[in-house]
Amino acid sequence: MSNRIASPILRHTPRKRFGQNFLHDESVISRIVDSINPQPHDHIVEIGPGKGALTRRLVGKCGRLDTIEIDRDLAKYLSRSLQNNHGEQHFDIHCCDVLKFDFYSLSDIPDTLRVIGNLPYNISTPVIFRLLKYSKLIKDMTFMLQLEVVNRLSAGLGDKNYGRLGIMAQYHCEVEHLFNVPSAAFTPKPKVSSAIVRLTPHQSMPCVATNVECLQDVVRTAFTQRRKTLRNSMKNLVSEEQLEGLELDLSLRPENLSLQDYVKISNAIS
């Protein structure tokens, strides 16, 4: 007997303004669910459930599932097809913009939320930066992202993709590039390749910034002028005397400085 949930028919035209590309490949869906490995005690938060391809696989396997969907038509569809089957205590839909959503409304207990989602390419970076602010609440995050973004998240020192996004993500989390997903797995078919990435907040920080906002400013300033040397790119934030006191090579460019180096600069001025 099939355990699939019967759902009303949905005729929905993907909306470009929401960056909608719906995952339909069952083998990819299964592989994502296996990567998440949902458990009966898990509180999962799905961003952008769309037509519910992942949602239907997860709703019966976790303790609680909250979904955040900006498209009212899709939210109503998921409500009709899923919420009535599982009740509000187990499954809930929040029809809103994830960039304005307060994750503390779901939990104030550290290390409890497991966040997943097929993030629209046009807002993936802002969503990740917003979620990093809630990293104390989050156990892990598993996302479908544009392959280029995953490469930036996971890039190490000296990599051409190394930059602000990867440095700040790696400050907060361990980043794992799990596997790639072909464009044929979606409808409509996007022009870019995708990948699955897992971000797991550090239990023990590899280095500690006195002021994380200051660290963000330092990294942003450096990579806004990434062709300049450290001596020149930092001169509006840090005096040359302060930099020299940190025993850093001032002739280096931003891609040649480690996360620890950026934290060192940040702590010197915060």
Reported confidence tier of residue 226, pLDDT bands at 50, 70, 90: confident
Asked if the bond preceding 201 is cis, omega within 30° of 0, the reply is no
End position of a domain, from candidates 201, 224, 243: 201
Establish if 207 belongs to a structural domain: no
Handedness of CA 261, 267, 269, 270 (dihedral sign): positive
Say if residues 249 and 264 touch (Cβ distance below 8 Å).
no
117: left (phi over 0), alpha (psi -120 to 50) or beta: left
Establish if 40 belongs to a structural domain: yes
Establish if 12 belongs to a structural domain: no
Select the more confidently predicted residue: 241 or 168: 168
118 & 234 share domain = no
Question: Considering its fold, how many domains does the chain have in total?
Answer: 2
120 & 148 share domain = yes
50 & 124 share domain = yes
Residue 143 burial class via C-beta count within 10 angstroms: exposed 0-12, middle 13-18, buried 19 and up = buried
Establish if 109 belongs to a structural domain: yes
With CA atoms as reference, report the closest residue to 50 among 26, 31, 76, 69. 69
234 & 112 share domain = no
Asked which of 4-13, 62-71, 117-126, 186-195 is least confident by mean pLDDT, the reply is: 4-13
33 & 100 share domain = yes
Select the more confidently predicted residue: 136 or 121: 136
162 & 249 share domain = no
Percent of the chain with pLDDT over 90: 62
Establish if 134 belongs to a structural domain: yes
246 & 160 share domain = no
Q: DSSP state, 7?
A: -
85 & 181 share domain = yes
Asked which of 83-92, 169-178, 191-200, 259-268 is least confident by mean pLDDT, the reply is: 83-92
194 & 169 share domain = yes
Establish if 4 belongs to a structural domain: no
Nearest-angstrom CA–CA distance, 20 and 240: 48
CATH of the domain at 98: 3.40.50.150
75 & 120 share domain = yes
End position of a domain, from candidates 201, 223, 255: 201
User: What tokens appear for 46 in the block?
Assistant: 């799905």
Nearest-angstrom CA–CA distance, 146 and 104: 28
64-68 β-sheet, strand order:
91-94, 64-68, 43-47, 113-118, 138-146, 194-201, 173-181
Residue 217: give the domain boundaries: 212-269
Establish if 258 belongs to a structural domain: yes
Establish if 6 belongs to a structural domain: no
115 & 156 share domain = yes
CATH of the domain at 250: 1.10.8.100
49 & 156 share domain = yes
